[in-house]
Structure 1
């Protein structure tokens, strides 16, 4: 643990505790399927950005974020009771779109590869191009 800063340890502790509180104590159905992915506290520990993932569309995401903002004072109070720190930061919830951005980058890379293959007169490899025999045919 020598390489970790205090804020790194607190970020992980806040993430775990907020996830538990959402699961066990918050009864709002809007936040039922929320996953806490990360917490980033400011150096002064006065604000903590809580990054969450919400399954569903933009409306479900907006509803969940509104529910989380509504529950923030309760969560902060509960964190103060369980963690017994001198200062509990203000909680600000944000949607974590890292997974969506990663999928978009992968899609763009596939499109570039297909485009380059078309320019070279090749067709991109697919699963059908596999040299393995079909499952219903015996190997010889």
Structure 2
């Protein structure tokens, strides 16, 4: 099979998953220790839920959420503002040929789970599921 012969929609490769998880753990560790030179960012408790890496490992999309879910936009803005320092830190901690460009997104996993739960709790949906 050719190097990039993966079919569209086949999901990420093991390498993408491994690199994404390594970035997630490294960023989580860095943020929990408050080592960034931005007091506003250090005051926030931010959870990194997932990191998705492109097949060429050049771009890493970091899904983050502040603890408690408040100030989501501020958290993403502060992470984006400090992405150079975060990327530099990743470069020191990881053995990658190229440190991916970091992009930050709000992790809406919990919102989606709540919406799904609310949907499943509706009488008409519950009635359909019970049949």
| Same-fold status (TM-score > 0.5) | yes
After superposition, the C-alpha distances for 1:56-86 in whole angstroms (9 at most, x for unaligned) are: 43xx111111100011110101111111321
Indicate yes or no: 2:59 matched with 1:47: yes
User: Residue 64 of structure 2: SS of its match in structure 1?
Assistant: strand
Corresponding residue of 1:74: 85
Given that 2:63 and 2:104 are in contact with CA atoms closer than 8 Å, whether structure 1 keeps it comes out as yes
Greater radius of gyration (CA): 1
The 5 Å alignment of 1:1-140 reads: 5-24=14-33, 25-26=35-36, 27-30=38-41, 32-54=44-66, 55-57=68-70, 60-113=71-124, 116=127
Q: Segments of 4+ in structure 1 off by > 4 A? A: 113-116
Matched residues in 1 for 2:46 and 2:107: separation? Answer: 11
Rate the CA distance shift 1:14–1:114 in 2: closer, same or farther, 3 A.
closer
Rate the CA distance shift 1:10–1:114 in 2: closer, same or farther, 3 A.
closer
CA RMSD of aligned residues (A): 2.1
Given that 1:47 and 1:91 are in contact with CA atoms closer than 8 Å, whether structure 2 keeps it comes out as yes
Rate the CA distance shift 1:110–1:72 in 2: closer, same or farther, 3 A.
same
Superposed displacement of residue 100, structure 1: 0.8
Gaps of 5+ in 1: 117-140
Structure 2 length as normaliser, TM-score? 0.76
Structure 1 length as normaliser, TM-score? 0.71
